[in-house]
Chains A and B, each alone.
Chain A
């Protein structure tokens, strides 16, 4: 019955077969995994690609004078090209492999910060950032005596753009903004944000941790200066992330972590650094994880990000409907432009209790502040229950979620 709700042509059962974790049982119930904003599961193709690399092709890179090392180096560099074309970056050298979105943002805060942020300069973030896009800027601002400004949001969880324009000035050096809020699902108008920032000469970092898995992101079209995201949220491995940066800006930035692999020559007196991206990839990188990330991108491309987006949009609409039909539920984050994330609160029931009781039925949701305490505060709640969908979710799982929430309300009535 519910299946008819979804009009996008999408063989979700076939897709689910690609993901071994989706057939796991929890409390003797089939897992209904609705915590995709936290991390996503991996298809066989990713698992198998990493296994093959580790069992047949593994070697370290950039130093092998032997066949395996050369082959691994070529593969690693191919992955850089793959990531570049995935996000529309004209040059592979603008892609830096990091350990995740958090490290990508910290790299910019440290390196760009030390080169370009001085006393009295201003950095702008929004009220609905993940802590990963708040704390590095607070630390930097404190250190450099710079000023952190915050774009407020309206009651729907949308940025108030007039306020943003008022915050911008010739003092603004950087705008660091999330593309999609992990706590509310709001899709921010990043293209417009970038344009306005560039008008005053400021640079823009986009936190793409939540957007890369759900929509087409093209850095050339957006014209952003930096983009950060994580492998484990796009069906790839943990421990791998990406920082895109415009090559000319990366060139001008000092190294972040120093050591091997990021140098041209080292004498005991002086070192000359390699050019980006090597300059920012000190030490032996997570080679297998980079290979896995490449396989994840292949998988997404094989399905098509536009189809993913259309299907998830329908899931979102259906999910909001079945939850709202229950009554007694407050959806937090009602932006017009929203990704497949539903944050909600129930009167008199704490999200932790909701999550524990849903878990009994194999439903995995997140109850907590989602590393976005300022967002929670803005909406007057300590925490929310969050269901976040991926293209491998199906309407029946949202029906199960609604039944589970009903049960919670009964237990606590």
Chain B
């Protein structure tokens, strides 16, 4: 399998085509606009946290490449029901995984199916596409208002 076909797996293509939770949320408790200045991708994350600081609802809107859209879509399905603390651990593992610094095959992890994004590590120019949604989510949690990929 080529690196490209590892990147564009069926699940990713599917989430790109039919993104889940792809709509604005009314009355979010948290939200943030994320930008990738490199390619002009834009995303907004909407969140509802409950009083126990668990993600009760999450959705996103915006435009971007297949990797960024699928990453956002899969992220929303995976963080729902998680605590803020757990989300931050997932972000850290995900972020390190796509940069090739964390191997979920060899370590205990909290990523579930998000490990299909491991192929991104072969494409350093695309890590920002995969991480945009996550940076934006963390920004929403931290109530920062706007996020840029680093």
Residues of A within 8 A of B (CB): 27, 348-353, 356-357, 359-360, 367-369, 373, 376, 382-383, 411-412
CB neighbours of B4 from chain A (8 A) = 356-357, 359-360
A140 to B67, CA, bound (A): 39
Q: How far is it, in angstroms, between the C-alpha of A348 and the C-alpha of B17 when the chains are bound?
A: 8
Chain B, interface size category, equals 20 to 34
Residues of A within 8 A of B8 (CB): 353, 357, 411
Question: In the complex, which residues of chain A have a beta carbon less than 8 angstroms from the beta carbon of B13?
Answer: 411-412
Known contacts A382-B63, A411-B13, A412-B66: A352-B39 contact under CB 8 Å: yes
* 27 residue pairs A–B, Cβ–Cβ below 8 Å: A27-B2, A27-B3, A348-B17, A350-B64, A350-B66, A351-B65, A352-B39, A352-B65, A352-B126, A352-B129, A353-B66, A353-B67, A356-B4, A367-B39, A368-B38, A368-B39, A368-B40, A373-B40, A376-B40, A382-B39, A382-B41, A382-B42, A382-B63, A383-B39, A383-B40, A412-B13, A412-B17
Is the beta-carbon distance between A369 and B39 smaller than 8 angstroms? yes
Considering only residues 1-22 of chain B, those with a C-beta below 8 Å from chain A are 2-4, 7-8, 13, 16-17
Which of A348, A351, A352, A359 has its CB near the most chain B CB atoms (within 10 A)?
A352
B129: chain A residues at CB < 8 Å are 352
Q: Are B39 and A356 in contact (CB under 8 A)?
A: no
In the complex, the 10 A-B pairs of residues with the closest C-beta atoms, listed nearest first: A350-B65, A352-B65, A360-B4, A382-B40, A353-B66, A353-B65, A369-B40, A368-B39, A383-B40, A360-B2
By the criterion CB–CB under 8 Å, are A356 and B7 in contact?
yes
Complex Cα distance, B4 from A351, in Å, reads: 15
Interface residues of B, Cβ cutoff 8 Å to A? 2-4, 7-8, 13, 16-17, 38-42, 63-67, 123, 126, 129
**Which residue of the partner chain A has the closest CB to B2?**
A360
Question: Which residues of chain A have C-beta atoms less than 8 A from B7's C-beta?
Answer: 356
A386 to chain B, nearest CB (A): 13
Chain A hits for B41, CB < 8 A: 382
CB distance from B124 to the nearest CB of A (A): 12
Given A349-B66, A411-B13: A356 touches B123 (CB 8 Å cut-off): yes
C-alpha gap A356/B119 in the complex (Å): 12
Contacts of A27 in B (CB 8 A): 2-3
- List B contacts of A373 (CB < 8 A): 40
Complex Cα–Cα for A367 and B42 (A): 16
Question: In the complex, are the beta carbons of A352 and B63 less than 8 A apart?
Answer: no
Q: Which of A351, A353, A357, A369 has the most CB of B within 10 A?
A: A353
Question: Inside 8 A of B17's CB, which chain A residues have their CB?
Answer: 348, 412
Within the complex, what minimum Cβ distance (angstroms) separates B116 from chain A?
16
Q: How far is the CB of B131 from chain A (nearest CB, A)?
A: 14
How far does the Cβ of B148 sit from chain A's closest Cβ, in whole Å?
A: 15
With A349-B66, A412-B13, A412-B66 as contacts: A356 and B40 at CB distance below 8 Å: no
Q: In angstroms, how far is the closest chain A Cβ from the Cβ of B128? A: 10
Please name the residue on chain A nearest to B123 by beta carbon: A356
A376 to B123, CA, bound (A): 25
CA distance A108 to B123 in the complex (A): 39
Q: How far, in angstroms, from A369 to B13 measured CA to CA in the complex?
A: 23
Tell me how far the C-beta of B80 lies from the nearest C-beta in chain A, rounded to whole angstroms. 26
Chain A, Cβ-Cβ closest to B5: A360
